[in-house]
Structure 1
Amino acid sequence: MVLFSSSMSLVQFLILGMRDIDQALIFSAVCFIASIVGLVIIQRAIERSGRASLIVFSVSTVMALSTISITCFGAIDVWRDYTRGKNMGFKLPC
């Protein structure tokens, strides 16, 4: 999921013609490494407790809440920019 999100952010940078692609690549690499570290930590916690259900439930709850909050705050920001007439960064693909 993190790899997909990072890749889509990189594609968005490229489509919108933004510079500092190096920074996006660095963020993608850091997110990918952090997801691997998180996966190892979760696996060890499951091995210690022997109860995968509690760990999986807590991680899925955090991810669901994060998805909802990011979507809501993003929608609010987009609506605010749209009503103020700001440049949204979209341009024709050709």
Structure 2
Amino acid sequence: MSALQYLLLGMKQIYAALTYAAICFVASLVGLTVIRKVILRHGRPSIIVFSVATVMALSIVLMTSFGAIDVWRSYTTGQNMGFKKPC
């Protein structure tokens, strides 16, 4: 859907967007197949909940870390961090 949004907004690299969309589609199918096999093997659908929780926890850690690194880099180099004077 994001690729479609960029295309509608006039994205210049159409082939890159289509490539990423295809990769995401294939990765989704692979992930779905793996999860189904694991559930059938172990008989526990809670594996999906554990997988989603693991991905979300990892995302929180990575987003916070990279955000903090970017803020620190902007602060130490004196770059504008987006704050403006109120008036």
TM range (shorter): 0.5 to 0.7
Aligned length: 78
Aligned to 1:69: 61
Residue 49 of structure 1 aligns with which residue? 42
Structure 1: stretches of 5+ with no match in the other structure: 89-94
Aligned residue in 1 for 2:85: none
Q: State the superposition RMSD in angstroms.
A: 3.4
The share of aligned pairs that are identical, in percent, is: 30
How much has 1:21 moved relative to structure 2?
A: 4.2
Runs (5+) with no aligned partner, structure 2: 83-87
- Secondary structure of 1:27 counterpart: helix
Q: Which has the larger radius of gyration?
A: 2
Q: What's the TM-score, normalizing by structure 1?
A: 0.57
